[in-house]
Amino acid sequence: MADLKQTLANIAKAIVDTPDDVMVTIEEEEDSITLTLMVNPDDMGMVIGRHGKIAKAIRTLMKASAAGSGKKINVDIR
């Protein structure tokens, strides 16, 4: 699951102004994986996007990249 963590970090670092502040944690349970993306508060708007479109796209990409794992993927943005 380290590749999911790195994939999310790479996506976020490409979007934000301060990529050094991007941090991703992963919590794996029996049937689900929760990825928590933490960014600088000044970059929060860039990650969420207008009306949440970028956040939705990030979640969709992560679900597609984890399709083979058979687990439900949740992405929390903080």
Which CATH number belongs to the domain containing residue 66 in this structure? 3.30.300.20
Find the domain containing 54 and state its range: 2-77
Report pLDDT digits (tens) over 13-66. Answer: 999 999 999 999 999 999 999 999 999 999 999 999 999 999 999 999 999 998
Q: What six digits make up the tokens of 23?
A: 């941090």
Is the pLDDT score of 74 beyond 90?
yes
Is the pLDDT score of 2 beyond 70?
no
Query: Could you give the angle at the alpha carbon of 76 between the alpha carbons of 5 and 24, nearest 5°?
Result: 30
**Structural domains of the chain, count:** 1
Q: Quickly state the pLDDT bin for 68 (edges 50, 70, 90).
A: confident
For residue 68, count CB atoms less than 10 angstroms from its CB and return exposed for 0-12, middle for 13-18, buried for 19 or more.
Answer: exposed
pTM: 0.92
